[in-house]
Chain A
């Protein structure tokens, strides 16, 4: 699947299109980000998500949804926004300077400018719909409460 998405994405980037991929669960982003990396140097990946998705491997696979941005964390300028759920093992991978936790975002609005300042010119945005509070977006694989309400996130 990762390779199939990688190739399909590449095909349209090559044609100079503004490529948008919609799933499906978050593991589809692994191949997608790989394709954008093939064409853009110093790529920023902006991830809007309730979960860190930084596991190197999960349930025997490096291509599980729980590993969606592990590769990106090693190969791109990864900025994580809205995070409120993760395993302790992911703390060894996560870059605190570029991670905006939901509980901190709720208290302080400066995260928006700070995150934007950390971006390079080429930004790939990956949105896991569970970044929205489960009252807004209940129909996801792993809904998560305690954040993040609509308009403010769209404003960002």
Chain B
């Protein structure tokens, strides 16, 4: 992910500790059968979010003030399933990839 935060919101609203909302991007397109490109979705979504108004007319709120933390993307893409891989090894791999 090139984009580091959702909708370009101020840093005080994008920290994990104080955020009520967490976004997890999964840029994965391992099994689509017709038009490809779903893996490009998260980056396109985040990029577009930077140019969006933060006030919501219908609910009369600014939801980002609840805090929105953008988690590290899940990028495991070797296979749709990996049942054969021992659980601890998988978990270690995930922890290694994340900084939290």
Contacts and interface: CB of A to CB of B under 8 A. Distances in A.
A binds B: yes
Given A4-B76, A24-B29, A143 B35 contact: yes
Contacts, number: 128
A125 interface: no
Contacts of A9: 24
B29 A142 contact: no
A65 B31 contact: yes
A-side interface mostly: mixed
A27 interface: yes
Interface residues of A, number: 34
Contacts of A15: 16, 22
A27 B31 contact: yes
B22 A19 contact: yes
A2 B69 CA distance: 22
Contact of A59 (B25, B28, B33): B33
A2 B35 contact: no
Contacts of B94: 4, 7-8
Nearest to A65: B31
A65 B35 CA distance: 13
A140 interface: yes
Contacts of A8: 24, 71, 74, 94, 98
Q: Which 4 A-B pairs have the closest CB atoms?
A: A63-B80, A4-B76, A24-B26, A141-B32
Query: In the complex, which of the residues B30, B31, B39, B77 has the most CB atoms of chain A within 10 Å of its own CB atom?
Result: B31
B69 A23 contact: no
A12 interface: yes
Nearest to B69: A17
Interface string A59-90: 10111111000000000000000000000000
Contacts of A19: 21-22, 24
B28 A25 contact: yes
Given A12-B22, A61-B81, A28 B28 contact: yes
Contacts of B35: 139-143
Contacts of B90: 3-4, 7
Given A24-B39, A25-B31, A28-B74, 20 more contacts: A1-B26, A1-B28, A7-B90, A8-B71, A8-B98, A12-B71, A20-B22, A21-B23, A22-B23, A22-B42, A23-B26, A25-B29, A27-B28, A59-B31, A61-B81, A63-B80, A63-B81, A140-B38, A141-B32, A142-B34
